Amino acid sequence: MRIVFAKIAKHELEDAASFYETEFDGLGQRFKSEVKAAAIRIGKYPKMWSIERGEIRKMLVA
Model pLDDT, residue 2: 82
Query: Which residues in 13-29 are b (16+ Cβ under 10 Å) and which e?
Result: beeebeebbeeeeeebe
Model pLDDT, residue 27: 97
The tens-digit pLDDT sequence of the chain (62 residues) is 788 899 999 999 999 999 999 999 999 999 999 999 999 999 999 999 999 999 899 999 87
User: How far apart, in whole angstroms, are the C-alpha atoms of residue 45 and residue 6?
Assistant: 20
